[in-house]
Chain A
Amino acid sequence: MSFRSSITIVASPRPRVGKTLLARLLTDFHLHEGRLVTAFDLNAGERTLAQFLPDKTTAASVRDVNGQMALFDHLVAYEDITKIIDVGHEAYEAFFSLAQNIGFVDEARRRSIAVAILFMVAPDHTSVTAYRSLRERFTHATLAPVHNEILGPAQHRDKYPLAAGGPGVVRMAALAPGLRRYIETPPFSFADPRIADPTRIPDSAYAELERWLRRIYLEFRELDLRILLADLRSSIKFSSHSQ
Chain B
Amino acid sequence: MAKPTVILVGADKGGVGKTTVARTLIDYFGAHQTPTRAFDTEWPRGTLKRFHSDLTEVVDVTSIPDQMKIFDTLGSAEAKVTIIDVRAGLLSATLQALTDIGFLESAKKGQITFAVFHILGSSIASLDEIAETARVVGDANYFLVKNFINNTTFFEWDPAVYNSYFKKIKGAEEIIIPKLNEMAFEQVEVASVPFVSFVGNKGAKGEAVNYSFVLRGYVRHWLGNVWGEYDRVKLVDMVSPKIESNVRQVAG
Contacts and interface: CB of A to CB of B under 8 A. Distances in A.
Interface of A: 65-66, 68-69, 72-73, 76, 98, 101-104, 107
A69 B214 CA distance: 6
B214 A103 contact: no
B43 interface: no
B213 interface: yes
A69 B213 CA distance: 7
Contacts of B220: 102-103
A201 B175 CA distance: 67
A107 B214 CA distance: 10
B221 A65 contact: no
Interface in B183-238: 183-184, 212-218, 220-221
B99 interface: no
A72 to B, nearest CB: 5
Contacts, number: 36
B181 interface: yes
Contacts of A76: 213
Interface of B: 181, 183-184, 212-218, 220-221
B218 A73 contact: no
B181 A107 contact: no
A102 B181 contact: no
Contact of B181 (A65, A73, A104): A65
A101 B217 contact: yes
A102 B221 contact: yes
Interface of A (DSSP majority class): helix
Contacts of B221: 101-103
Q: Interface residues of B: mostly helix, strand, loop or mixed? A: helix
Contacts of A107: 213, 217
Given A72-B217, A102-B217, 10 more contacts: A65-B181, A66-B183, A69-B214, A72-B213, A72-B214, A101-B217, A101-B218, A101-B221, A102-B213, A103-B217
A65 B217 contact: no
A107 B221 CA distance: 13
B183 A73 contact: no
Given A65-B181, A65-B183, A73 B212 contact: yes
Contacts of B212: 69, 73
A20 to B, nearest CB: 25
List of 10 A-B pairs having minimum Cβ-Cβ separation, nearest first: A102-B217, A101-B221, A69-B214, A65-B183, A72-B214, A68-B214, A69-B212, A76-B213, A73-B213, A73-B212
A73 B218 CA distance: 13
Q: Which of B212, B214, B218, B220 lies at the interface centre, i.e. has the most chain A CB atoms within 10 A of its CB? A: B214
A62 B181 CA distance: 14
Contacts of B181: 65
**In this complex, which of A68, A73, A102 has the most chain B Cβ atoms within 10 angstroms of its Cβ?**
A102
A98 to B, nearest CB: 8
16 contacts: A65-B181, A65-B183, A65-B218, A66-B183, A68-B214, A69-B214, A69-B215, A72-B213, A72-B214, A98-B214, A101-B217, A102-B216, A102-B217, A102-B218, A102-B220, A103-B217
